[in-house]
Amino acid sequence: MTAPTEKPEPTEKPEPTENPEPTDQLQRVHLIGIGGAGMSGIARILLARGVPVSGSDAKDSRTVLALRAQGARIAVGHDAANLTQLDGPPTVVISTAIRQDNPELAAARERGLSVLHRSQALAALMTGRRVACVTGTHGKTSTTSMLTVALQHCGLDPSFAIGGDLAAAGTGAHHGAGDIFVAEADESDGSFLRFSPTVAVVTNVEADHLDHHGSEAAYAQIFRDFLGRITPGGTLLSCADDAGAEQLARDAEQLGLRVRRYGRTAPGAAGDAILLDYRPAGTGGRLRVRLPGTGTSAAAEEHTVTVAVPGEHMALNALAALLAGLELGAPAAGMLEGLAQFSGVRRRFEFKGRADGVAVYDDYAHHPTEVAAQLTAARSVTEGRLVVAFQPHLYSRTRMFHREFGAALALADEVVVLDVFAAREDPEPGVSGALVADAVTLPAAHVHYVPKWSAVPEVLAGLARPGDLVLTMGAGDVTVLGAEILTELGRRERAR
């Protein structure tokens, strides 16, 4: 087998700059779409390092207001004037979501300004630190967050960039004083090929983002290419329970890379981590794990730890975080204590409130496997019925996976399907949320297609009964419905 090579980026993206130094490339930075999860994290770290930051976003938000309070100069709306009004020529940072006709991007290129992809800027911020990257089709945000919180508990103060906000800290990025940088590594557009991790965690490999990669084979290949980015002497941590991740581990071994596995089915070789048992515990879960020995002890040790998030998929994420921490030199006792203090991530089975005896949660799941896993986990923490409101994300994903979404959503008792959240895509004829609703394998009386977004809270409140759990799901603006659902439930309770 030949060594992996980097997959070339599409021509419309800025050409990569290999390991740009922060002092050379990032002396003054303008971020287009600064309010996004990834872009705002970069801005936050830059500001903490004393770099002048400006940017723009389509609208004001809590994130934008927080960055302004830290000193960022942010305009609402995209306009070429946002660049000309700056004190000096900046490096311009964009994400894959920024279209090529964006007026600020066009102006930057006309002026010959340095334009970096978000991943290039993040790679620059990693310079000089030991890097731990967490990637995979599912579970990246939760695993990265667990690892970060546990390392913080050990007093290591890592820098981190996560695609979601930690519930306790209220942020997804931080400039730490330690020598470790923990990053959620995005495979969706292949941009994680710009990172050079010492420790690389791959949670799973399953077909997704085919709108970009084109085929399942091409998507799997990008992970094999990622193996070539692991630094000499570095380690791949792979989930043995996932067929795609296990194949990647075997590929890595053929390349001579050091591989450690975790999961229920991990072979138990020296250095592997085993999930011996998982049981629901309140609104979280209780894990019994076997971890490799550390320090002068080579003997594996069994431990029990309770985590605040439910589901066996979260138990595996926790196990990955523990093993990654050990690989980075953190003590097992400190990692276990830190993991027990992990309070979750916003939009990952996030509790929004309770009204009229109904608990309301919100989750980011937007792939059939994620939907099925989270509905299974939600079922374990409620004695009532499970009522889900699902918003499909992207027309291409809806077209490709509507049958799989239908099968996954059938794990609920009542299903409300919203229309597609377009994100970066234009509408496709014949593709709507109705495709998903029609595919749900429940009696028709329990499946409701509600294309009018504003009508969803009233519909959900009418379906829910005391003791039920309502879960809003999707990567779009379905997340903001929680407060309105609680208001409707409260109104119904008062009316009685």
Looking at the annotation, which residues are catalytic? 140-141, 184
Q: Are strands 284-291 and 273-281 parallel, antiparallel or unpaired?
A: antiparallel
3-state SS, residue 401: helix
Q: Which positions ≥6 away from 324 have C-beta within 8 Å?
A: 132, 134, 147, 199, 201, 237
CA-wise closest residue to 43 among 84, 94, 100: 94
What is the length of the chain?
Answer: 496
What is the C-alpha end-to-end distance of the chain, expressed in Å? 69
- DSSP per residue over 6-67, as a string? PPPPPTTSPPP-SS--HHHH-SSEEEETTTSHHHHHHHHHHHHTT--EEEEESS--HHHHHH
Q: What is the dihedral of CA 446, 353, 61, 29, to 10 degrees?
A: -100
Give me the half-sphere count of Cα atoms (radius 13 Å) on the Cβ side of residue 270: 6
- C-alpha triplet 193, 249, 192: angle, nearest 5°: 10
Q: Residue 281 half-sphere exposure, CB side, CA atoms within 13 Å?
A: 18
- H/E stretch holding 280 reads strand 273-281
